[in-house]
Structure 1
Amino acid sequence: MHVASKVLSLDSDWLRAHPLPVPDIAADKNSRGRVLAIGGCATVPGGIQLTVEAALRAGAGKIQVATIESAALALGVAMPEIAVFSLPETDTGEIALTSAGALSDLVGRCDAVVAGPAMSDAKAASGLTGHLLTLCEAQMILDAAVLMNLSDHTDRLSALPRPAVLTPHIGELAAILGCAAADIEKDRIAAVKEASDRFGAVCVLKGSTSLIAEPGADVFAYAGGGVGLATGGSGDVLAGIVAGLCARGTPQLEATLWAVWLHGEAGRRCAEQIGPIGFLARELLAHLPGLMRAL
């Protein structure tokens, strides 16, 4: 593994020096950024809702969601702000590999694609990843199940004109690198750096101290947020924030760093207002617009 030369602190000073793009006063919803979110399964049919709402809260103007047929209608009713497209599903309630063709037109109409939230079938997700890599010119954010067999797509990922963003927790990073989680824990900085360099991607290793790396550069660290963020759906929210910021035109690394900070600071506010543990991932969402305005 390669050890980064320096670890930089992600803080409000850095963010003020790298502000988010501001939409023109006459901007319409398309020019504010278009996101396609692909994910969901019968076991976690609402998880993708956290991702798409996070993208909207981060300022994206238009959201399309592709999810399993059995969950599509309920999602559309729950979120009238989005367009929902139903995909064929397997007997076990996962997105079917036969869905790939149905995604082609959708991918061409977006600025950022976030794939994987609330999916659990690594094989089906890997097939989806391979399909997206053959046709997607939009910014890609890869999360959850699509990370588990990422080594099958190393060459195509590293050849993307714009680096993908990977958002693994330690178990997913272990799968990405083909090693044990205990080995990563021995040197988390070296591990996130290796993943970033190997796939030519911006990589976030989520944890009590989140680490963010881009190829050939130093690693950023963010230790805010608190233990309350270790809850179901929290990672789905983070992936959606990254997608929303990328769709708005924020460069990959800056979008990821802003997303990690916004996610963590939303967790801190929930801890203050509700309690250090016990708040829900969906309670992070309403804090995001105010946090962006605060800086």
Structure 2
Amino acid sequence: MAEVTTLDGAWLRANPLPLPDEESDKNARGRVFVVGGCMTVPGGVRLTAEAALRSGAGKVRIATVEPTAVILGAFLPEVAVLPQPMDEAGEIDAAVARIADDVRRCDALVIGPAMGCKRQASALVGMALAEEARAGLVLDAAALMALSDHALALCRRERPAVLTPHIGEIAALLGRDAGEIDKDRVAATRDCAERFGSVVVLKGAVSIVAEPGGATFSYSGGNVGLATGGSGDVMAGIAAALIARGAEPTVAALWAVWLHGEAGRRCAETVGPLGFLASELLGFIPQVMQRAA
């Protein structure tokens, strides 16, 4: 069994993030496309989009349900918002969604944040995979709950996708009991990485990251305050931005885990160990990223 590498400062220094040239325009800094949101959680997708901007992406676009699109665009004027048809449950209606052009044009695509319907999220994933786009791919939340139909397509991708499950979501991915998985989180993460040909981030008090082929990492620098609504949406946005900037999927996933954890540590110090909001992580991302550069 391959060893587990500790994610620490030495690893980060040995694997720096790509830095944009001083002459770079916003397109050269990477384009992120976020597909998600629903009427039940209308603002969650904003966390992913802003996290991508805070992590250095040059341009971010959001596809979300039509009734919330204008509000999101006004709240976050730095992004473009693409209103999508909505089904009766208040979710993006994948059958008539208009995302193909943006999937082809982006450098990194995130699907699933703040969505509640795994059926619609799965259909959106299928649409994205069918495009055979060169973009990096991050799958989160509802997009993780019905991936079995897409396992072969994910394994065939030239660049591995990044999956960001918590323990309940990885249990669904593997069709196993969460309690069983908790007894050996490393083995479950490796199994998931192999099954879906993807880099898998199993979030938790100790986060485990595994890539296809067995390389596995652990990070224990987070805190209990990060176990709050929207926190995972932030991590997904960080990972997508780093891929869009040119980082390989494993490097992007590991840096996202570290930046997310360090932002949580700053919040714990300035706000308190419990009770800080996922939105409060956002302002610390550029600071911790600069400190590690």
Q: State how far apart, in whole Å, the 2-side matches of 1:218 and 1:7 are.
A: 7
**Is 2:102 the counterpart of 1:106?**
yes
Q: What does the per-residue CA deviation read over 1:136-167, in whole Å, with 9 as the maximum and x for residues that have no partner? A: 32100000001101111111010011100000
Instruction: Answer whether contact 1:20 1:250 (CA < 8 A) is retained.
Output: yes
Instruction: Answer whether contact 1:88 1:98 (CA < 8 A) is retained.
Output: no
- Residue of structure 1 in register with 2:237 after alignment: 240
The count of residues paired between Structure 1 and Structure 2 equals: 291
After superposing on structure 2, the runs of 4+ consecutive aligned residues of structure 1 that deviate more than 6 Å are none
Q: What does the per-residue CA deviation read over 1:198-236, in whole Å, with 9 as the maximum and x for residues that have no partner? A: 111000000000000001132100011200000000000
- Residue of structure 1 in register with 2:175 after alignment: 178
Q: State how far apart, in whole Å, the 2-side matches of 1:109 and 1:123 are.
A: 25
Q: What does the per-residue CA deviation read over 1:80-129, in whole Å, with 9 as the maximum and x for residues that have no partner? A: 100000000011100112234x1111111110000000001011111111
In structure 2, the residue corresponding to 1:67 is in which secondary structure?
A: strand
Q: What one-letter code is carried by the residue in structure 2 that aligns with 1:104? A: A
What's the offset of the Cα at 1:267?
Answer: 0.4
Q: State how far apart, in whole Å, the 2-side matches of 1:60 and 1:222 are.
A: 24
- Residue of structure 2 in register with 1:60 after alignment: 57
1:116 is aligned, of 112, 124, 133, to: 112
**Is 2:15 the counterpart of 1:18?**
yes
**Is 2:92 the counterpart of 1:133?**
no
Identity of aligned residues (%): 57
**Alignment root-mean-square deviation, CA:** 0.8
- Residue of structure 2 in register with 1:211 after alignment: 208
Q: Gaps (5+ residues) in structure 1?
A: none
Q: What one-letter code is carried by the residue in structure 2 that aligns with 1:47? A: G
Q: What one-letter code is carried by the residue in structure 1 that aligns with 2:28? A: S
Q: What one-letter code is carried by the residue in structure 1 that aligns with 2:50? A: E
In structure 2, the residue corresponding to 1:257 is in which secondary structure?
A: helix
Q: State how far apart, in whole Å, the 2-side matches of 1:290 and 1:19 are.
A: 16
In structure 1, the residue corresponding to 2:209 is in which secondary structure?
A: strand
Q: State how far apart, in whole Å, the 1-side matches of 2:156 and 2:284 are.
A: 36
Q: What one-letter code is carried by the residue in structure 1 that aligns with 2:175? A: G
Q: State how far apart, in whole Å, the 1-side matches of 2:185 and 2:96 are.
A: 36
What's the offset of the Cα at 1:17?
Answer: 1.0
- Residue of structure 1 in register with 2:197 after alignment: 200
Q: What does the per-residue CA deviation read over 1:17-74, in whole Å, with 9 as the maximum and x for residues that have no partner? A: 1111110111000000000000000000000000000000000000011000011000
Q: State how far apart, in whole Å, the 2-side matches of 1:176 and 1:169 are.
A: 11
In structure 2, the residue corresponding to 1:245 is in which secondary structure?
A: helix
Q: What one-letter code is carried by the residue in structure 1 that aligns with 2:119? A: K
Q: What does the per-residue CA deviation read over 1:236-259, in whole Å, with 9 as the maximum and x for residues that have no partner? A: 000000001000001100011000
TM-score with structure 1 length normalisation?
0.97
Q: State how far apart, in whole Å, the 1-side matches of 2:144 and 2:166 are.
A: 10
Q: State how far apart, in whole Å, the 1-side matches of 2:109 and 2:180 are.
A: 31
In structure 2, the residue corresponding to 1:108 is in which secondary structure?
A: helix
What's the offset of the Cα at 1:196?
Answer: 0.3
Q: What one-letter code is carried by the residue in structure 1 that aligns with 2:142? A: A
Q: Gaps (5+ residues) in structure 2?
A: none
Q: What does the per-residue CA deviation read over 1:180-200, in whole Å, with 9 as the maximum and x for residues that have no partner? A: 101101111000000001111
**Is 2:150 the counterpart of 1:153?**
yes
Q: State how far apart, in whole Å, the 1-side matches of 2:95 and 2:195 are.
A: 29
2:38 is aligned, of 27, 38, 41, to: 41
Q: State how far apart, in whole Å, the 2-side matches of 1:191 and 1:151 are.
A: 16
